[in-house]
């Protein structure tokens, strides 16, 4: 009998390290506590973490999300 695999809380994984899988727009929305439509707007405006398409699906590489967060933190610290 196989046990159902529990999905970790995306916000907790952002604090403790990102999961070892490509992230979905839902994951990004939950991590940053924004509506999913905001994630899609970021993609259209090219202002959020970079995503890529796998067929008709948008995915985000955890390394790219980590780099995006680091850049944002560095930019905010420099502006302060």
Task: Indicate the domain borders of the chain.
Answer: 10-68
Give me the sign of the Cα torsion angle 27, 28, 32, 38.
Answer: negative
pTM for the structure as a whole:
0.74
pLDDT digits (tens, 9 = 90+) for 36-65: 999 999 999 999 999 999 999 999 999 999
pLDDT higher than 90, residue 68: yes
Encoding tokens for residue 49?
């973490």
pLDDT for the residue numbered 56: 96
pLDDT at 10 > cutoff 80: no
Tokens 């202002």 belong to 47
Asked if 21 and 41 count as a contact pair (C-beta separation under 8 A), the reply is no
């Amino acid at each position: 009998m196989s046990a159902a695999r529990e999905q970790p809380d995306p916000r907790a994984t952002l604090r403790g390290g990102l999961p070892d899988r490509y992230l979905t727009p839902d994951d990004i929305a939950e991590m940053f506590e924004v509506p999913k439509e905001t994630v899609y707007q970021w993609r259209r405006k090219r202002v959020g973490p970079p995503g890529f398409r796998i067929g008709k699906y948008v995915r985000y590489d955890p390394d790219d999300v980590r780099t995006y967060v680091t850049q944002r933190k560095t930019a905010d610290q420099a502006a302060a």
